[in-house]
Every structure is written in C-alpha cells, then in structure tokens.
Amino acid sequence: MPTKHEIRADFGHDTIVVYQAYDDRIADSALAKGRFVGPHFSFSRMTWIKPSFLWLMHRSHFATKKGQTRVLAVRMTRAGFDRALSIAVSTDPTARMYPKYDAWRAAFGAAPVHVQWDTERSITGDALGHYSIQVGVSRHVIHEFVDDWIVSISDMTERVTKLRELVHGRRLDRAKALVPPERAYAVPDEVARRWS
C-alpha cells in the first residue's frame, strides 16, 4: 500500500516517464520535433507534468476532455525531474518546511516549480487513499524542461482509446494490462520536505 504522499512512476536508471494531455496542434508538433515547440505550446505559462498515468486518465476523462484529447508520454531525465523537485514549493501552505503562512507565501510566489498532490484514482476513476504528485514547471525553467530534460515523446492516445473502451465495457482485467507499470520513486528527505 503506497504511503499518503509517495511518488509512483514508470522509470529506469536514467529516465522517468511523465504524462501530459494536449490538443492535436500541440501534440502533432511535439511528436514531429521530439520536443515541445511554438506557436501553440506556451513557453510563458506553467506546464504540469504528471507521473501517474491513471490520474491523467481521470483528469482528461480518458482523452475526451476538450483540449486534452491527445495523451503524450514524455520520457525525461531523472536528473531533470529531480532538479525540478529540488526547487519546488508545495501549493499547500501547511507543508512542513513552512510553519508560517507568510514564509510559505513568499517562497511560493518566487518558486520556479510548484508541486501539488491530488487524490490518486483507480482505473475506474474511484478515489484511492493516497495522493498523486503533479509538478508545475514555470516559464523560468520551461526551456530547461523542453531543451535539456526531455529525451523522447510518444503518443499514447490509441492506447488510451482502447483502455477507455475496455473500462466502459467493464473488461477491467484486460484494461489493467494496458496501464504502464509504476513503482515508488525515492527522493532524499531534504527534497521531500519542501512539499510534504
């Protein structure tokens, strides 16, 4: 059973997979170039990356929500992901690193990366008893993410469509076989205390 705030992800020795959902224009350009490019992808706003595949399924309604009809698996360096976490501040003002609200507010306002924990979801969308991390990469580090951290981008949309059909048909055993494997991703306590 995962702990309440535990990062779970599909990762290897050097890379980790995060998921994002976009419209066709952004997805097609990213797949063609192997990285996110303008004009439709914005480099001036925060982009949220999510290691939990099932949380993104819940968020995008299995790739049926407007503007989120294409699901991309973004393989990025663990060094980049770890760097993002090391400079992140939680969206929750009760994070243990900031015992006083004003200290959190000042840190949050200046933070180049935000971390948010949302209730994890099962394959059928039910709320689970632990949380899933989202990492918000701001305009201050987004070029690092795009230019230095991304290793590859692949299109998961066809797989998601099949998964959605299986879930709606209650063929859950077959559906679960399409969910990427995820396991606990360890980070040093001095990093985790920034957002837990």
User: How far, in Å, CA of 23 to CA of 27, rounded?
Assistant: 6
- 32-36, 66-70, 93-97, 100-104: the lowest-pLDDT one: 93-97
CB-CB contact of 56 with 19 (8 Å): yes
Quote the distance between the C-alpha of residue 15 and its chain's center: 14
- Look-up of token digits 């959190």: 104
Check: pTM over 0.95? Answer yes or no: no
Report the candidate in 144, 155, 158, 180 with the shortest Cα–Cα distance to residue 47.
Answer: 144
Report the candidate in 46, 175, 34 with the shortest Cα–Cα distance to residue 108.
Answer: 46
Is it the case that residue 96 has pLDDT exceeding 80? no
Strand 113-121 vs strand 88-90: parallel, antiparallel, or unpaired? parallel
| Sequence letter at residue 161 | T
